[in-house]
């Protein structure tokens, strides 16, 4: 881990501990605390601002973004980048009848279609993820390259959909030859398979996406759940 990333991790930890709950120490003071150059500290502060943990005010310094404190996911290797740095490239778009599994998870009738989308996610024009997405046509009536090569989440909000939550699953995999060609890596390289299910406030499942990322990293801060530990302990006896 690079030096500035260690500073980011430590400051995020202190924010979660409420050791820092309002304003961060000045750049010069942070340089002295960590024994690092002000250039390195500036990189750390820039990343903290990019992931939304702090906000900067000209002439005043950096302040904790209290609206994010307490959320389970602090940041990951995608959300640490701004929307301007993220782009998409369409690989495939199909409109098809769902199979039995798709019909079940989306609660669809036999004659209701779904969109099947495959696209690349790029950071500063470098491919970092392959994403395969399924969306009921009843939710997104129209689908085209312009929509695919932008934020599907933003498009959903623009259509008036009210997004409630996401259920995310992580699984370690090895990259196939076809995916390796798209990602620019070797076949069988270790990767993370991230499956997201998005729910509307009505409880309706509106999107399922499978993502493959060979350099995925995420940082969480979650409250300790004593009831969960007691339940697991009870059932292990």
Q: Is there a shared CATH topology between the 3-69 domain and the 83-216 domain?
A: no
Answer yes or no: is pLDDT of 82 > 80.
no
Confidence bin at 237 (pLDDT 50/70/90): low
Inter-CA distances, 191 with 92, 144, 172, 213, 215, Å: 22, 29, 6, 6, 7
In this structure, are residues 165 and 202 in contact, taking their beta carbons and an 8 Å threshold? Answer: no
pLDDT beyond 90 at 68: no
**Given the structure tokens 């934020």, which residue do they identify?**
151
Which tens digit of pLDDT belongs to each residue from 130-140? 999 999 999 99
Distance CA 46, CA 84 (A): 15
Q: 19 falls in which pLDDT band (50, 70, 90)? A: confident
Burial class (CB in 10 A: 0-12, 13-18, 19+), 8: buried
Query: What pLDDT is stored for residue 234 in this prediction?
Result: 72
In sign, the C-alpha dihedral spanning 94, 97, 100, 101 is positive
Res. 126 pLDDT band, cuts 50 70 90: very high
* Number of Cβ atoms within 10 Å of the Cβ of 111: 7
> Which residues are within 8 A (CB) of 205 and not within 5 positions of it... i.e. 6 or more apart?
105, 106, 107, 197, 198, 199
Into which CATH architecture does domain 83-216 fall? 3-Layer(aba) Sandwich (3.40)
Query: What residues form DSSP beta bridges with 89?
Result: 120
- Give per-residue pLDDT as tens, 170-218: 999 999 999 999 999 999 999 999 999 999 999 999 999 999 999 998 8
pLDDT at 220 (0 to 100): 81
Averaged pLDDT, 76-85: 81
pLDDT at 114 over 80: yes
Burial of 63 (0-12, 13-18, 19+ CB in 10 A): middle
Percentage of residues in the chain having pLDDT higher than 70: 97
Please tell me the predicted confidence (pLDDT) of residue 76.
82
Residue 113 scores a pLDDT above 80: yes
Domain 3-69 has CATH 3.30.1640.10: no
Q: Write down the pLDDT at residue 236.
A: 66
- The pTM of the full predicted model, rounded to 2 decimals, is 0.81
The CA-based angle 80-84-89, given to 5 degrees, is 100
pLDDT for residue 148 = 97
Q: Which residues, other chains included, contact 70 with Cβ-Cβ below 8 Å and sequence gap of 6+?
A: none
Q: Where are the domains of the chain?
A: 3-69, 83-216
């Amino acid at each position: 881990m690079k030096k500035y990333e260690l500073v980011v991790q430590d400051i995020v930890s202190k924010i979660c501990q409420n050791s820092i709950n309002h304003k961060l120490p000045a750049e010069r003071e942070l340089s002295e605390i960590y024994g690092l150059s002000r250039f390195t500290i500036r990189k750390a502060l820039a990343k903290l601002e990019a992931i939304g943990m702090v906000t900067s005010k000209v002439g005043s310094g950096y302040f904790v973004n209290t609206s994010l404190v307490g959320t389970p996911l602090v940041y990951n290797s995608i959300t640490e980048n701004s929307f301007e740095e993220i782009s998409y490239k369409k690989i495939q778009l199909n409109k098809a009848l769902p199979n039995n599994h798709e019909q079940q998870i989306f609660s669809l009738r036999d004659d209701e279609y779904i969109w099947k989308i495959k696209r690349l996610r790029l950071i500063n024009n470098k491919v970092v993820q392959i994403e395969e997405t399924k969306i009921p046509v009843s939710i997104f009536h129209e689908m085209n390259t312009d929509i695919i090569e932008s934020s599907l989440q933003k498009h959903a909000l623009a259509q008036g959909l009210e997004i409630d939550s996401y259920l995310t699953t992580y699984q370690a995999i090895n990259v196939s030859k076809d995916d390796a060609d798209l990602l620019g890596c070797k076949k069988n390289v270790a990767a993370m398979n991230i499956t997201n299910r998005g729910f509307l406030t009505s409880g309706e499942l509106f999107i399922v996406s499978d993502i493959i990322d060979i350099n995925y990293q995420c940082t969480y801060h979650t409250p300790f759940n004593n009831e969960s530990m007691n339940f697991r302990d009870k059932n292990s006896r």
